[in-house]
Structure 1
Amino acid sequence: MELKRVVVTGLGTLTPLGNNVEDYWTNLVNGVSGADNITLFDASKFKTRFACEVKGFDPTQFMDKKEARKLDRFAQLALVASDMAVADANISKDNVDIDRVGVIFASGIGGLTTFQDEVINFSQGDGTPRFNPFFIPKMILDIAAGQISMRHGFRGPNFAVVSACASSTNGLITAADNIRLGKADIILAGGSEAVISMAGVGGFNAMKAMSERNDDPKTASRPYDKDRDGFVMGEAAGVIILEEYEHAKKRGAKIYCELMGGGATADAYHLTAPHPEGLGARNVMLAALKDAGMKPEEIDYINTHGTSTPLGDGAEAKAITEVFGDHAYKLNISATKSMTGHCLGAAGVIEAIACIQSVIHDIVPPTINHFTADPTLDPNLNFTFNKAQKRTVNAALSNTFGFGGHNACVIVKKYVA
């Protein structure tokens, strides 16, 4: 069976660096940090009091107050990002078969803030079980996929994907495979996360996973820096419209790039720590290259998982040198989480969007906040420290790894008509 080609025909995103694709990309290239003091709740007693929030977001600008109240913030962000992507791809009931348009949408955690608030409200009462009737529909992480399909009337494959911080990358792979196998013409693939809350920040603080650099939030996310001390939490939503190539051509869609393939593996090692030799990371990049039918030397840029944790950054860098050999030193590597923070289940899709923009514009966004070289890292690797670099980017690879040992990787390639 010959697999169908998959192209990207629409993009939409809300991130700590901007509430549309253009602002997000401009701020990435300019090395802007999205970190600042937390405003979404009173974090004064928490070990970490800063994060990368989506700024200036008012859901009532995009939906009425009644609808907004029925949605957790993660689903609000998801709906708005999907609206952007659908408009960008010029999809309507007039030019597509809605029975063959699907939504595969990811989240690592879902409506954690809704869960937190409902339990707090119950605990402060007299024990009588009074819960909001929308408690469960607001909380469950598959509701974003359902809400998007209902909003736009899409009746194709519809479900959620969850694999912690690898969630939306796994969603992209699953969506692409559905199209390659002819099960859908178009799929809205993406992810959303919004857990900058007491439960989210407190929980990750308890794991000692996050930076506590409260005196200097904007430089706290320091991938590959000797003094990195943990990730900075972010929130975001992103949607990529994946479409079968001939279908896109037939309806005259603009094509941004081609999604060549992806890979998924497990570390099978530790609950939260990566394999120290980068075994899972190595295997997932090899799997993605094989799936894409590409050689290592065809890749120009890698957007790494690069969370700014002491163990993770080194393991991934080691895996890159093993997979790419001498070509590793011709690559540009960057960790855009230095600017966006770690957006958990949404990280994969917004970083894939960064790769798509890099392929389109032939610019590699930087890894900012690098001050002190880490002697354990190969000094000959080009981590694109502190300043964007112009170069031809024919193909880019995006890595995302999640708690539980989940690894996922996608490859996008320049489209030539």
Structure 2
Amino acid sequence: MVDNDPAVVTGIGVMLPNTTTVEQFWTNVSGGRSQVGALTRFEGLPVHAAAEITGFEHRAHLPTLADAHARKYSREVLITMSAVEQARRDAGLLQSDVDPRRLSVVLSSSRGPLSWWTAAIRGEDKGAFADKGAMFRGLPGCPASLSAIHTGAQGLVTTVSNACVGGHQAIGIALRELRAGASDAVLVGGHEFPILPEVAKCYLALGKGVLSGERDDPANAVRPYNSDREGFALGEGSVVLCLERRSHALRRGARVYATVLGHRSFNEADHPTTMDLTGKVTAGVISDVLDDAGRTAGEVDYFCSHGTATRYNDLAESRALRALYQDRSPGQLPPISSNKPIYGHTFGIAGIINVAATSLMLHHQRIAPTINLNSPDPECDHDHVAEGVREADLDLAVSLSFAFGSQTSVVALGAAA
């Protein structure tokens, strides 16, 4: 069913490596400026590249947060609160613009405050349990709750934890809140801080080609669809969107980046660590979400891929496009690109980054490229935007997300009406 009052993206908050504004985010994504650098957090493993946030100072983003409170919060909480606040400011959403009971916060994180817990358990944080702030620092949902307190949001406040589809699913929850009329605006996003040896070991245990071992050129560590790809690099940060019903946004004169037309999340109930390699299941999910929006695959102008630079992911996405467009040659498929080479793999917020980037592409009418792609795998030979940013006439775009647990998720976005 077509939504006559769809959700729109009116604000974007980003706290990523070397990126603390929407303008920096767009410059890096559209300009192909990788923020993946040499790994500094740990050593002793065959992992040498990561997208790390360094030198973060919360006061520039949370000037009204009392130092007495900030001292009780972890780095993860402060970065997330900063992204939530920036999304609200970017949307121009004032307290007088929305009933606080109708303002919600929905976030995603695949592992929650793992960095704080590991430091506490190892004994590296001597004051971990020295005050009641330990409760704030140790709960996965506290970044959302503390952000809601700081923002004054009294609506639904919750956190989704579902690997790499969690960000998309948070958007799905936000859409249901808005469509049901339970909320007028939702600050939806996530936080992920996985640059830890324990996390790296999890992915190294899956075998070669999952976590990149690039040493000499970290910016070239992530090479989606390339014939010599090695896997992904770990990335961290927080990204948040402000979603509103279009009527609410227009009533207050808000700028609109893009329209969120629909979301579908599907569990294949199949192998837990691979994905649909026929392409047919994913193609079906894409068709379903487009049908929900009253659109068709033939109208799609661009796909923002999950693009992890792992063999299974790359093949799954390429085969899904071929299954969706069976009457087209590879060269006639819609353009596709991945932002994983820019910010690494951020798991619980990967889908949020995709939707934020796609919203800006629709807004600017330009497709951001997949960098580090110079020799496509013959099985992934279709229209990759790899030559640099591409001018385009964009009206309909699709964001793809896959996760362990046999899960696929799709978000359809349209240009601002």
TM-score where L is the length of structure 2: 0.92
SS of equivalent to 2:379: coil
Task: Quote how far apart the aligned CAs of 1:287 are.
Answer: 2.5
Task: Quote how far apart the aligned CAs of 1:73 are.
Answer: 3.1
Measure the CA separation in 1 of the matches of 2:220 and 2:139: 34
- Residue number in structure 2 paired with 1:207: 206
- Residue number in structure 1 paired with 2:355: 352
Measure the CA separation in 2 of the matches of 1:216 and 1:94: 49
- Residue number in structure 2 paired with 1:76: 78
Q: 1:335 to 1:123 in 2, by over 3 A?
A: closer
Q: 1:130 to 1:90 in 2, by over 3 A?
A: closer
Measure the CA separation in 2 of the matches of 1:260 and 1:29: 23
CA contact (8 A) 2:110 2:347 kept: yes
Matches within 5 A, 1:152-301: 152-208=151-207, 209-301=210-302
Task: Quote how far apart the aligned CAs of 1:279 are.
Answer: 4.4
Measure the CA separation in 2 of the matches of 1:36 and 1:123: 26
Task: Quote how far apart the aligned CAs of 1:252 are.
Answer: 1.9
Number of residue pairs matched by the alignment: 409
Measure the CA separation in 2 of the matches of 1:123 and 1:191: 24
Task: Quote how far apart the aligned CAs of 1:200 are.
Answer: 2.4
Matches within 5 A, 1:391-410: 391-410=392-411
CA contact (8 A) 1:35 1:339 kept: yes
- Residue number in structure 2 paired with 1:6: 7
Gapped runs of 5+ residues in structure 1?
none
SS of equivalent to 2:81: helix
- Residue number in structure 1 paired with 2:148: 149
CA contact (8 A) 1:262 1:408 kept: yes
Task: Quote how far apart the aligned CAs of 1:221 are.
Answer: 0.2
Q: Deviations over 1:97-141 (max 9, x none)?
A: 1111111111111100111011111999xxxx9676433432322
Identity of aligned residues (%): 29
SS of equivalent to 2:410: strand
Q: Which amino acid aligns with 1:110?
A: G
The answer to whether 1:95 aligns with 2:94 is: no
- Residue number in structure 1 paired with 2:43: 44
Please identify, of 305-314 and 12-21, the stretch whose mean Cα deviation from structure 2 is larger.
12-21
TM-score where L is the length of structure 1: 0.92
Q: Which amino acid aligns with 1:184?
A: S
CA contact (8 A) 1:169 1:409 kept: yes
Task: Quote how far apart the aligned CAs of 1:60 are.
Answer: 4.3
Measure the CA separation in 2 of the matches of 1:2 and 1:277: 29
Q: Which amino acid aligns with 1:255?
A: V
The answer to whether 1:364 aligns with 2:367 is: yes
Task: Quote how far apart the aligned CAs of 1:75 are.
Answer: 2.3
Q: Deviations over 1:159-184 (max 9, x none)?
A: 11121011111111110121012111
Q: Deviations over 1:237-295 (max 9, x none)?
A: 11111111222222222222211111110122222222222344323312221222211
Gapped runs of 5+ residues in structure 2?
none
Measure the CA separation in 1 of the matches of 2:140 and 2:238: 13
- Residue number in structure 1 paired with 2:378: 375
CA contact (8 A) 2:107 2:188 kept: yes
Matches within 5 A, 1:101-140: 101-121=103-123, 133-140=132-139
Aligned-residue CA RMSD (Å): 2.3
SS of equivalent to 2:357: helix
Q: 1:186 to 1:123 in 2, by over 3 A?
A: closer
Measure the CA separation in 2 of the matches of 1:32 and 1:2: 37
CA contact (8 A) 1:239 1:349 kept: yes
Please identify, of 193-202 and 290-299, the stretch whose mean Cα deviation from structure 2 is larger.
193-202
SS of equivalent to 2:43: coil
Task: Quote how far apart the aligned CAs of 1:346 are.
Answer: 0.9
SS of equivalent to 2:222: coil
Q: Which amino acid aligns with 1:317?
A: S
Q: Deviations over 1:321-378 (max 9, x none)?
A: 212344672411001112211111111111111101110111111111113231222x
Q: 1:140 to 1:362 in 2, by over 3 A?
A: same
Q: Which amino acid aligns with 2:336?
A: I
Q: 1:130 to 1:158 in 2, by over 3 A?
A: closer
Q: 1:335 to 1:17 in 2, by over 3 A?
A: farther
The answer to whether 1:18 aligns with 2:19 is: yes
Measure the CA separation in 2 of the matches of 1:373 and 1:398: 21
Measure the CA separation in 2 of the matches of 1:294 and 1:73: 42
Please identify, of 341-350 and 203-212, the stretch whose mean Cα deviation from structure 2 is larger.
203-212
CA contact (8 A) 2:302 2:394 kept: yes
